[in-house]
Amino acid sequence: MSDELIEKISKLKKEKKAVVLAHNYQRSEIQDVADAVGDSIELSRRAVEIDAKLVVFSAVDFMAQSAAILNPDKEVVIPRAGARCPMAQMLTPEVVEAYRRRYPSLPLVVYVNSLAETKALADICCTSANAVKVVESLNSDRVLFGPDRNLAEYVASRTGKEVIPVPEWGFCPVHVMYDSKCVEEARAAHPDAVFMAHPECPPEVLEKADYVGSTSQMVRYAKQSSALKFVVATEVGLLHRLRKENPSKRFFPAVEDALCVNMKANRLLDVVECLAGGGHRVVVEPKVAERARKALEKMFEVS
Ligand code: 13P
Ligand code: SF4
């Protein structure tokens, strides 16, 4: 990246009283100019703490929506309107209502990778970092959980509760690329490495992993671990941060082309355009935002 561009970005940030928040899967050049890099919910909380008028949220739609819901007084913009998480679209309010009719007494836990309208119907939200804790906190041995089926199964295995996936088939197209074979191949290629996996991976991968956690939990785990080599089963964008923060350690992707095209839709020049007054303002209808905020705040109380 040229010094000129770096200077332009910092000048625009000052002029607009703006910050750039980037998810761990963003392109490396965006992570490098961001004021904070983190997992889905860390960034929304960071947006609350940071003194700024404009928040450029470089991530996918649902994350920027959560930031807008939790920061009604700030202008939140997303660099590309097309950066939409396909898994979030899999749990529509209509699907939620159908399950509510079928299981009227069960609490509904909605993963933050979901639309604002869906969060608004939840009893409580969760992230990949706190899903186990959230489900444990509920006074029910049976819960509805969506939209990620793999995360639902992982939570069931850790809590012993019956976790009913809503819908039955929700998935992340990136994390379903991992399977037992890729774990075995990684073990053969790097026998002394720690295998870390995101809980959106299939159960056959999670059962064999040495560590399961959200993107930022993996960053923390790698930092404090005495191991020097790690195989990483999540979107490859995380490797940039892992390598940058741990220069003496080595990180290998479990699947080289595990790329979220939605996350990668945001380019550095789009971020610059946002700082210059462009981008796409994230607006959530006030009634929906109010109900979704309650479900997010309940999650914060638990975790
Ligand atoms: P994290 O909350 O772990 O950052 O995960 C977000 C995500 O989109 C995983 O695919
Ligand atoms: Fe959505 Fe999967 Fe991309 Fe995460 S990696 S934003 S869950 S499609």
Q: What is the pLDDT of residue 45?
A: 85
pLDDT tens digits, residue range 20-65? 999 999 999 999 999 999 998 899 888 889 999 999 999 999 999 9
Helix 3-16 crosses helix 268-275 at what angle (to 10 degrees)?
40
Q: What's the chain's length in residues?
A: 303
When pLDDT is cut at 50, 70 and 90, the band that residue 233 belongs to is: very high
Tell me, in angstroms, the distance from the centre of ligand 1 to residue 40's CA.
Answer: 6
pLDDT tens digits, residue range 66-78? 999 999 999 999 9
Whether the upstream peptide bond of residue 147 has omega within 30° of 0, thus cis, is yes
pLDDT tens digits, residue range 90-101? 999 999 999 999
Q: Do 266 and 30 form a contact (C-beta atoms < 8 A)?
A: yes
Ligand approaching nearest to the C-alpha of 130:
1
Tell me, in angstroms, the distance from the centre of ligand 1 to residue 39's CA.
Answer: 6
Which atom of ligand 1 is found nearest the CA of 23? 4
pLDDT tens digits, residue range 138-165? 999 999 999 999 999 999 999 999 999 9
Fold adopted by 87-173: Rossmann fold (3.40.50)
The domain defined by 3-84+263-283 carries CATH number 3.20.20.70: no
Q: What is the pLDDT of residue 234?
A: 98
Q: What is the pLDDT of residue 40?
A: 86
175-253: CATH number: 3.40.50.10800
Provide the token pair at 168. 């039955």
Which long-range contacts (C-beta less than 8 Å, at least 24 apart) are formed by 30-37? 30/58, 30/266, 30/267, 30/268, 30/271, 31/237, 31/240, 31/241, 31/244, 32/1, 33/1, 33/6, 33/9, 33/268, 33/271, 34/58, 37/241
DSSP 276: T
Tell me, in angstroms, the distance from the centre of ligand 2 to residue 61's CA.
Answer: 10
Provide the token pair at 227. 């191991």
| Cα distance between residue 279 and residue 104, in whole Å | 41
pLDDT-above-70 percentage for the chain: 100
Neighbours of 27 (CB within 10 A): 18
| Cα distance between residue 222 and residue 234, in whole Å | 14
Q: What is the pLDDT of residue 3?
A: 82
* Ligand 2 pocket test, candidate residues 174, 201, 214, most atoms within 8 A of CB: 174
pLDDT tens digits, residue range 175-223? 999 999 999 999 999 999 999 999 999 999 999 999 999 999 999 999 9
Written as one letter, the residue type at 144 is L
259-280 average pLDDT score? 96
Q: Which residues contact 262 (CB under 8 A, 6 or more apart)?
A: 60, 82, 83, 84, 85, 86
Tell me, in angstroms, the distance from the centre of ligand 2 to residue 221's CA.
Answer: 21
Provide the token pair at 169. 């088939």
Q: What is the pLDDT of residue 1?
A: 75
Q: Pick from 112, 149, 107: which is nearest to 128 by CA?
A: 112
291-300 average pLDDT score? 97
The pTM for the full model equals: 0.96
DSSP 207: T
DSSP 1: -
Q: What is the pLDDT of residue 275?
A: 97
- Where are the CATH 3.40.50.10800 domain residues in the chain? 3-84+263-283, 87-173, 175-253
Backbone angles phi, psi at 194, to 5 degrees: -90, 135
Question: What residues are in contact with ligand 1 under a 6 Å CB criterion?
Answer: 24, 39-40, 113, 127-128, 172, 198, 200, 214-215
Q: Do 227 and 248 form a contact (C-beta atoms < 8 A)?
A: no
Q: What is the pLDDT of residue 41?
A: 84
6-21 average pLDDT score? 96
| Cα distance between residue 77 and residue 67, in whole Å | 10
Which long-range contacts (C-beta less than 8 Å, at least 24 apart) are formed by 43-47? 43/67, 44/69, 44/70, 44/71, 44/296, 45/70, 45/300, 46/21, 47/19, 47/21, 47/71, 47/74, 47/76
User: With the C-alpha atoms ordered 130, 214, 150, 284, is the resulting torsion angle positive or negative?
Assistant: positive
Helix (H/G/I), strand (E/B), else coil: 172: coil
- Average pLDDT of the chain is 96
255-272 average pLDDT score? 97
Ligand approaching nearest to the C-alpha of 199:
1
Tell me, in angstroms, the distance from the centre of ligand 1 to residue 196's CA.
Answer: 14
* Ligand 1 pocket test, candidate residues 198, 212, 238, most atoms within 8 A of CB: 198
